[in-house]
C-alpha cells in the first residue's frame, strides 16, 4: 500500500535527519534526545496508558459532542479507505502496517517531538507552557482536525512523561499501544463495513 510506504518512509527519514543533523554534526548521542533508561519504573505505564486514553476520549467528547459531531463525523475520512487497502493486501500487509504504526512511527515521533522539539521549547519556556506548546505542535502536525482534542491530550501527556521519566522510552511504549489500538479499531471497523 502506498500509505504504508509513505508512513514508513517519513518515519525513517525523520530518524535519519535526527541522526545526521543532531547526532553526527553536533556530536550528540541518542541519550541526549531521551533514548535512555527511564529514571522511574516503567510499571507506571500500567496506569498511565489507560489514564491517557480515557483523558483523550473525554477531551474529544467534551469538544466534539457539543459541536454536533457524532461517531461518523469524528472519524478520519481517509482512514477506512486506507484500512480497506490493508485488508485487501492480506495478513502480511496488515502485519507490516501494524509494525509501522505501532513501532516505527512511535519511535520516530517520540525522537522528533519529545527528543528534539520538547527540549528546544523547554529551553525558552517554563515546564507547563513548554509541555503544552510542544503537545499542541504534536497534535496540529497530524493534520486531523476531528482528532485534535485527543491528539492534544496525547501530546501533552507524552511530553509530561518525557520530563517525568527523563526518557522518551516509556512514551514510545504508550504511543505504540495507542497507535496499535487505533489501527486495530480502524481495521475492525473497515472489515465490518
Average of per-residue pLDDT across 8-12: 93
pLDDT of residue 85: 72
Half-sphere exposure of 147 (CA within 13 A, CB side): 18
pLDDT higher for 110 or 21?
A: 110
What confidence tier does 80 reach under pLDDT thresholds 50, 70, 90? low
What confidence tier does 82 reach under pLDDT thresholds 50, 70, 90? low
pLDDT tens, residue by residue, 148-162: 999 999 999 999 999
pLDDT of residue 170: 99
Please classify residue 186 by burial: count the beta carbons closer than 10 Å to its beta carbon, then call 0-12 exposed, 13-18 middle and 19+ buried. Answer: buried
The set of cell numbers assigned to 116 is 528534539
Cα–Cα distance between 145 and 92 in angstroms, integer? 31
Cα–Cα distance between 93 and 97 in angstroms, integer? 6
The residue segments making up the domain with residue 28 are 2-192
Segment among 29-43, 64-78, 89-103 with least mean pLDDT: 64-78
Relative orientation angle of helices 45-64 and 148-165, to the nearest 10 degrees: 150
What confidence tier does 118 reach under pLDDT thresholds 50, 70, 90? very high
Total of domains in the chain? 1
DSSP assigned state of 76: -
Cβ neighbours of residue 22 under 8 Å, at least 6 residues apart?
28, 32, 33, 116
Amino acid at each position: 500500500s502506498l500509505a504504508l510506504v509513505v508512513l514508513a518512509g517519513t518515519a525513517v527519514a525523520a530518524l535519519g535527519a535526527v541522526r545526521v543533523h543532531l547526532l553526527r554534526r553536533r556530536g550528540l548521542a541518542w541519550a541526549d534526545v531521551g533514548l535512555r533508561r527511564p529514571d522511574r519504573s516503567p510499571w507506571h505505564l500500567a496506569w498511565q496508558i489507560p489514564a491517557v486514553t480515557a483523558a483523550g476520549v473525554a477531551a474529544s467528547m467534551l469538544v466534539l459532542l457539543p459541536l454536533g459531531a457524532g461517531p461518523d463525523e469524528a472519524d478520519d475520512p481517509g482512514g477506512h479507505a486506507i484500512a480497506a487497502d490493508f485488508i485487501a493486501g492480506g495478513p502480511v500487509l496488515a502485519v507490516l502496517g501494524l509494525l509501522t504504526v505501532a513501532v516505527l512511527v512511535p519511535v520516530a515521533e517520540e525522537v522528533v517531538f519529545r527528543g528534539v522539539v520538547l527540549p528546544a521549547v523547554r529551553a525558552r519556556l517554563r515546564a507547563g507552557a513548554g509541555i503544552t506548546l510542544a503537545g499542541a505542535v504534536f497534535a496540529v502536525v497530524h493534520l486531523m482536525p476531528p482528532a485534535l482534542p485527543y491528539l492534544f491530550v496525547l501530546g501533552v501527556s507524552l511530553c509530561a512523561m518525557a520530563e517525568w521519566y527523563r526518557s522518551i522510552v516509556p512514551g514510545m511504549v504508550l504511543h505504540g499501544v495507542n497507535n496499535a489500538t487505533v489501527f486495530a479499531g480502524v481495521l475492525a471497523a473497515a472489515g465490518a463495513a
